[in-house]
Amino acid sequence: MKAVSPSGPWGISIRTAKKNIMKVVPRKDGESLKDCLQRAKKAAKELKDKYSHRDDIIIEIISRKKAFEKPDDIVIKGNQLWCPYCRKPRRFKTGQKVEIDGITFVSDGRRCVVCGISDRDFYVRTYNHLWPEVRVK
């Protein structure tokens, strides 16, 4: 099967204190999103098994296309926002080095420290109630 997009709907975040790698899982021709997710889960499990002897490596599946709403039982701490792509509370920092689909840049706005999504994203703003209050006179 041939990949539809070099980007892909899922990513596997592989992180240590010094390095952050996003391994993209591209969707193949005729493959459903669910099947692609299953492939991503299998690849993530293989990586977790491979590095099971290392306590410093964090491996997580990240959505690169679909945003997920915050579940009611999740508590957000003061310095975090809900990241609808990581599906977790995350810190969003300004001035961090971000690599997205092979392009590296330093962010001028706040971005998720794991997946790199901006706090200007529609779903980040919506799920974290970041829209400015509109007053009608």
- 86 plus 104 within the same structural domain: yes
Q: Of 36, 64, 92, which residue sits at a domain end?
A: 64
- 77 plus 133 within the same structural domain: yes
Question: Residue 14 forms beta bridges with which residues?
Answer: 21, 59
Q: Of 22, 40, 64, which residue sits at a domain end?
A: 64
List C-alpha distances in Å: 4 to 8, 40, 75, 93: 8, 16, 37, 32
- 49 plus 85 within the same structural domain: no
pLDDT at 96: 82
Does residue 116 surpass a pLDDT of 80?
yes
Residues 6 or more apart from 134 whose CB is under 8 A from it? Answer: none
Domain total of the chain: 2
Which H or E element spans position 48?
helix 33-50
What mean pLDDT value characterizes the chain? 88
What proportion of the chain, given as a percentage, has pLDDT over 90?
Answer: 63
Give the pLDDT confidence of 60-99 residue by residue, as tens digits. 999 998 999 999 999 999 899 999 999 999 999 998 877 7
Outline where DSSP puts E strands in 29-87: 58-63, 81-83
- 6 plus 48 within the same structural domain: yes
Which pair of structure tokens corresponds to residue 76? 């957000």
In whole angstroms, what is the distance from residue 111 CA to residue 9 CA? Answer: 19
pLDDT at 101: 65
Give the pLDDT confidence of 6-48 residue by residue, as tens digits. 578 999 999 998 888 888 899 999 999 899 999 999 999 999 9
- 57 plus 91 within the same structural domain: no
What proportion of the chain, given as a percentage, has pLDDT over 70?
Answer: 94
> Could you list the residue range(s) of the whole structural domain that residue 100 is in?
67-137
pLDDT at 100: 65
- 97 plus 33 within the same structural domain: no
pLDDT at 6: 54
- 102 plus 122 within the same structural domain: yes
